[in-house]
C-alpha cells in the first residue's frame, strides 16, 4: 500500500510538471519568430502631389492591419483632412467585434493644408496589426513620425536636403515622445574611483526609460586576476514579456563595486560594462558596451569609450525574442531531451544506472512495483535537475562547475565508495539494491529510488552529451521559466528509458527473471563505483595536490569503519549505535581540513607543443596571423577526456597542427579561472568542453566547434582557418 501511495504521489507530481512544461512551451512559442513591427508593416510616404499625402503599407505574409485602428495627426502648421481608405475584409473579432482588416498591402490618401511659413509636412501615423497564424499575437499600437518635404509647386521653401538624401520617411529622433533617443542620451554611464579597490558606477537614465539589472555584465580588461563584486541596490520589479519577472532601474542607478585582487602598482584600470535597457512601452535597445579607463592615482579623470552599437531597431516589449542565440524554445527543448537521453550512455552515469537496472529486475513481474520504481526515480531526476538549473541560473555559474569545489568532489567520492561497499555486501542499507541511491538511501522503498535519481543527476554533471551544449547555452540566456523547462527536458531524457520499462509491459518482458545470479551481478557492478571514486580522487589530486588525496583516503577508511560498525550494531544496544554516529563525525574531520588546502601548483609553461591559455597570448598570436585551436577543458569533464583520447592526443592531430601552422592552446578550468570563465561567456558556452578555432585572418571571428569532436571535423576547421 505504501508503494502504491508513493506511486500516486509521484504520478501527480509528474502530471503537474508536464502541465507546466506544456504551458511554458506555448507561452514561449508566442514570442518566437515574430518580425519587428516596422518590418511586418513597412510604411512609405509620398508628398510629391501638392495638398495630398499618399501612404502605402507593405504587409508581410501572415500579418494583417486593422482599418479601424489607424489614426493620423498633423504636426505644427499642418491640418489634415479625412483619410481615404479602401474597404477591408470584414469579419468578427472575438475581442473587438466587427472589424475590417488588410492583408498584403494597403494605400491611404490624406488631404492637408499648410499654415503660412510651414517648411515641412509633419504627421504622426498610428496603426495596429496582428500575426494571424500560430503564434497569434497582436502588436501594441505603433506610431511613426514622418517629416516630408513640401512640394515646390505649393509655394513652400525648398525641401530639406536630408529628406532628399535619406528618402521621404526620414524620422526625427528627437521628435514625438515615442521616438527612441540615441543610446548615449538614454543611458549615460560614468565610473568614479573611490580608492584602489572600490569604484562607483553611475547610469543616468532618461525619463521614460529603464535599465535591466540582470542584463548588466562587468569585467576588467587585461587583468584576469582581478574580479568585481557589485552591490546592487533595490530596483523596481518589472514583468517583462521576454525575461519574465525581473528587476529594472529608472532615472538613476548608482552601483558600488568592490575590486578583488592585488591592484598594488596599478595606475589605471580598464573596466568594460555591457548593459541593456528599453524605452518604457516602446522599443528595446541592443546590448550596449562602454569601456571606462579609470585613473587609480586620482591624477586625472575617467575616459569613457563607446563601442559601436546598431540602431535600436528591436520589436516592442511584448514581442521581443531572444537574440543571443539563434535557437527557438521548442528546438532547445528537443535538444535537451535528446541530450538527456544520450546521457544514459555516458561513462560518468553508467555506474549509477546499474543500480537502477538491478532494482527494476528485482521488481520481477509486479507491474505496480516497476511503475513505482520508475516514477520515484524520475521524480528524483526532475526535481534535482530543476534545483540544479535554478542554482546555475541564479549564481550565473556553469554546467559541472560545482566539481571545481574540492569538498564536493570529496563528498561525491565517499558517496560512491559507500554505494560500492553496499553492493559488495559489506553493509546493507535496505532490503534491495534499489535502496542504495545515495548515503540517504537507508530509507526503505521508493525513497531509495528517489535518491538514486538525485545521485544520477549529480554524477551526470561532468558529462556533456551531444545536443546538450546548445540547449544549455539557451537556458543560460533565456527567462527563468524557459530555462527551468530546458533542465526538466534534460531530466526527462535521462529518465525516459526507465519510464518506458516501467510503463510499457512489452519492454518489461525483456528483463531477465530474478534469481541467485543477481547477487553476483550486484557485486560485479560494485567495481565501476569503486573506479568512479578513484577517478574523483584523481580529480581532487589535480585540484589540491597529494595532501588532499591523503585526507580523502583517511576519510574513506573512517567511512568504511563507520559502515562496518553500523552493520555489526544492528542488534546491539543504544551505546553501540551511538558509536556509529561518533565514527561518522570523525569521518567529517578530514573533509574540514581538506576544504582549507590551497590550490595545487599547476604548470603554466608550454609543454609538448601545447600553449597555456591567456587572453594576451591569444591576442598576440592572432595579431601575428597564426591560426589557433583553443581547447577549454577540465580534469572532471569526462567529455573533454574522451575527445582528448579520440582526437586531440593523437599523432594525426599533431601532424595537422604542423601542416596548417596552427597553435594548440589549452585552458584548464579544473579550478575556477576568471579568464577562462570570461572566454566561456563570450562564446555562450554553458561549461566545458569548449573548442574555438581562430583563422589566420586576425580580424575574423573564431569558429565554435561541437562539444563532441571527430578528427574530420577538426581537420576541416583548421584547414579553412589556415587559408
| 378 and 434 inside one domain | yes
Mutual orientation of helices 350-362 and 367-395 as an angle, nearest 10°? 150
State how far the Cα of 405 lies from the Cα of 395, in Å rounded to an integer: 15
pLDDT of residue 125: 92
| 302 and 333 inside one domain | no
| 89 and 124 inside one domain | yes
| 390 and 503 inside one domain | yes
State how far the Cα of 451 lies from the Cα of 119, in Å rounded to an integer: 77
pLDDT of residue 648: 92
| 399 and 523 inside one domain | yes
DSSP H or E stretch at residue 654? helix 651-660
Number of domains observed in the structure of the chain: 4
Reference 388, options 373, 407, 375, 401; nearest CA is 401
Specify if 27 maps to a domain.
Answer: no
Of 300, 319, 338, the one marking the end of a domain is 319
The partner residues of 579 in beta bridges, in order of sequence, read none
Task: Write down how long the chain is.
Answer: 723
pLDDT of residue 305: 57
pLDDT of residue 665: 94
State how far the Cα of 98 lies from the Cα of 617, in Å rounded to an integer: 67
pLDDT of residue 660: 92
Of 319, 342, 363, the one marking the end of a domain is 319
State how far the Cα of 417 lies from the Cα of 532, in Å rounded to an integer: 9
DSSP H or E stretch at residue 379? helix 367-395
State how far the Cα of 406 lies from the Cα of 542, in Å rounded to an integer: 10
DSSP H or E stretch at residue 247? strand 244-250
| 236 and 335 inside one domain | no
Specify if 552 maps to a domain.
Answer: no
CATH number for the domain harbouring residue 682: 3.40.30.10
pLDDT of residue 348: 63
Residue 599 sits at φ, ψ, to 5 deg, of: -60, 145
Of 280, 301, 319, the one marking the end of a domain is 319
| 97 and 56 inside one domain | yes
State how far the Cα of 573 lies from the Cα of 563, in Å rounded to an integer: 17
State how far the Cα of 192 lies from the Cα of 287, in Å rounded to an integer: 22
| 389 and 482 inside one domain | yes
Residue 362 belongs to domain spanning: 2-15+327-413+429-527
Specify if 32 maps to a domain.
Answer: no
DSSP H or E stretch at residue 163? helix 161-166
Specify if 604 maps to a domain.
Answer: no
* Class of residue 385 by CB neighbours under 10 A (exposed 0-12, middle 13-18, buried 19+): buried
State how far the Cα of 488 lies from the Cα of 473, in Å rounded to an integer: 15
Q: In this structure, what DSSP letter does residue 289 have? A: E
| 453 and 520 inside one domain | yes
| 361 and 465 inside one domain | yes
| 147 and 292 inside one domain | no
CATH number for the domain harbouring residue 204: 2.60.40.1250
Specify if 354 maps to a domain.
Answer: yes
| 343 and 484 inside one domain | yes
Segments of the chain with pLDDT less than 50: 1-4, 6, 9, 16-32, 153-177, 308-326, 430-444, 603-606
pLDDT of residue 422: 79
680: CB partners within 8 A, 6+ apart: 398, 632, 669, 686, 687, 688, 690
What is the per-residue DSSP string for 71-111?
A: EEEE-TTEEE---B----EEEEETTTEEEEEE-SEEEEEEE
Q: Degrees (nearest 5) of the Cα angle 363, 357, 12?
A: 65
697: CB partners within 8 A, 6+ apart: 625
Specify if 602 maps to a domain.
Answer: no
pTM beyond 0.85, yes or no: no
Amino acid at each position: 500500500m505504501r508503494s502504491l501511495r508513493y506511486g500516486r504521489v509521484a504520478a501527480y507530481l509528474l502530471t503537474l510538471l508536464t502541465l507546466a512544461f506544456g504551458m511554458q512551451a506555448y507561452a514561449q512559442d508566442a514570442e518566437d519568430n515574430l518580425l519587428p513591427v516596422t518590418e511586418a508593416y513597412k510604411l512609405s510616404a509620398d508628398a510629391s502631389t501638392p495638398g495630398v499625402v499618399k501612404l502605402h503599407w507593405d504587409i508581410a505574409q501572415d500579418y494583417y492591419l486593422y482599418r479601424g485602428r489607424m489614426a493620423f495627426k498633423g504636426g505644427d502648421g499642418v491640418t489634415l483632412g479625412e483619410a481615404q481608405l479602401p474597404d477591408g475584409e470584414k469579419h468578427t473579432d472575438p475581442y473587438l467585434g466587427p472589424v475590417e482588416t488588410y492583408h498584403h498591402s494597403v494605400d491611404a490618401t490624406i488631404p492637408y493644408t499648410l499654415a503660412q511659413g510651414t517648411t515641412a509636412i509633419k504627421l504622426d501615423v498610428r496603426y495596429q496589426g496582428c500575426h494571424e497564424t500560430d503564434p497569434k499575437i497582436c502588436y501594441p499600437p505603433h506610431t511613426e513620425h514622418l517629416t516630408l518635404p513640401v512640394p515646390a509647386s505649393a509655394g513652400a521653401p525648398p525641401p530639406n536636403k536630408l529628406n532628399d538624401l535619406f528618402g521621404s520617411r526620414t524620422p526625427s529622433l528627437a521628435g514625438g515622445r515615442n521616438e527612441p533617443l540615441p543610446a548615449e542620451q538614454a543611458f549615460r554611464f560614468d565610473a568614479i574611483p573611490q580608492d584602489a579597490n572600490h569604484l562607483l558606477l553611475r547610469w543616468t537614465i532618461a525619463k521614460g526609460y529603464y535599465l535591466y539589472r540582470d542584463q548588466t555584465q562587468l569585467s576588467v580588461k587585461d587583468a584576469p586576476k582581478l574580479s568585481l563584486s557589485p552591490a546592487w541596490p533595490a530596483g523596481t520589479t518589472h514583468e517583462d514579456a521576454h525575461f519574465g519577472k525581473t528587476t529594472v532601474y529608472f532615472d538613476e542607478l548608482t552601483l558600488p563595486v568592490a575590486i578583488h585582487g592585488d591592484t598594488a602598482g596599478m595606475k589605471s584600470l580598464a573596466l568594460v560594462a555591457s548593459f541593456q535597457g528599453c524605452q518604457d512601452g516602446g522599443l528595446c535597445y541592443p546590448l550596449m558596451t562602454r569601456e571606462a579607463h579609470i585613473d587609480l592615482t586620482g591624477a586625472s579623470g575617467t575616459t569613457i569609450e563607446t563601442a559601436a552599437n546598431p540602431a535600436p531597431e528591436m520589436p516592442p516589449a511584448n514581442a521581443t525574442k531572444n537574440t543571443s542565440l539563434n535557437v527557438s524554445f521548442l528546438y532547445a527543448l528537443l535538444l535537451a531531451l535528446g541530450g538527456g537521453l544520450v546521457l544514459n550512455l555516458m561513462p560518468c552515469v553508467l555506474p549509477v544506472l546499474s543500480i537502477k537496472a538491478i532494482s527494476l529486475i528485482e521488481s520481477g513481474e509486479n507491474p505496480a512495483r516497476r511503475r513505482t520504481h520508475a516514477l520515484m526515480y524520475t521524480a528524483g531526476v526532475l526535481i534535482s535537475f530543476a534545483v540544479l538549473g535554478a542554482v546555475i541560473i541564479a549564481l550565473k555559474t556553469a554546467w559541472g562547475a560545482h566539481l571545481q569545489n574540492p569538498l564536493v568532489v570529496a563528498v561525491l567520492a565517499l558517496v560512491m565508495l559507500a554505494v560500492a561497499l553496499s553492493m559488495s555486501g559489506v553493509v546493507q542499507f535496505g532490503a534491495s539494491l534499489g535502496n542504495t541511491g545515495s548515503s540517504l538511501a537507508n530509507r526503505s522503498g521508493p525513497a531509495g529510488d528517489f535518491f538514486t535519481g538525485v545521485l544520477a543527476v549529480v554524477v551526470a554533471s561532468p558529462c556533456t552529451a551531444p545536443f546538450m551544449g546548445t540547449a544549455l547555452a539557451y537556458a543560460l540566456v533565456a527567462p527563468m521559466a524557459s530555462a527551468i523547462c530546458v533542465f526538466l527536458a534534460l531530466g526527462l531524457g535521462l529518465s525516459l528509458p526507465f519510464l518506458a520499462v516501467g510503463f510499457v509491459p512489452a519492454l518489461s518482458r525483456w528483463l531477465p527473471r530474478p534469481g541467485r545470479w543477481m547477487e553476483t551481478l550486484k557485486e560485479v557492478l560494485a567495481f565501476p563505483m569503486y573506479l568512479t571514486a578513484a577517478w574523483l580522487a584523481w580529480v581532487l589530486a589535480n585540484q589540491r595536490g597529494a595532501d588532499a588525496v591523503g585526507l580523502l583516503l583517511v576519510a574513506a577508511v573512517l567511512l568504511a569503519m563507520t559502515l562496518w560498525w553500523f552493520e555489526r550494531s544492528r542488534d546491539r544496544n543504544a551505546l553501540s549505535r551511538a558509536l556509529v554516529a561518533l565514527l561518522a563525525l570523525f569521518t567529517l574531520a578530514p573533509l574540514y581540513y581538506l576544504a582549507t588546502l590551497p590550490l595545487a601548483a599547476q604548470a603554466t609553461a608550454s609543454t609538448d607543443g601545447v600553449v597555456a591559455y591567456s587572453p594576451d597570448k591569444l591576442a598576440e598570436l592572432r595579431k601575428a596571423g597564426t591560426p589557433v585551436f583553443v581547447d577549454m577543458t577540465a580534469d572532471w569533464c569526462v567529455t573533454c577526456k574522451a575527445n582528448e583520447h579520440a582526437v586531440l592526443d593523437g599523432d594525426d592531430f599533431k601532424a595537422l597542427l604542423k601542416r596548417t601552422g596552427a597553435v594548440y592552446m589549452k585552458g584548464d578550468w579544473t579550478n575556477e579561472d576568471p579568464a577562462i570563465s570570461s572566454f566561456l561567456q563570450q562564446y555562450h558556452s554553458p561549461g566545458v568542453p569548449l573548442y574555438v578555432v581562430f583563422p589566420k585572418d586576425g580580424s575574423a571571428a573564431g569558429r565554435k566547434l561541437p562539444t563532441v569532436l571527430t578528427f574530420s571535423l577538426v581537420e576541416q576547421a583548421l584547414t579553412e582557418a589556415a587559408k
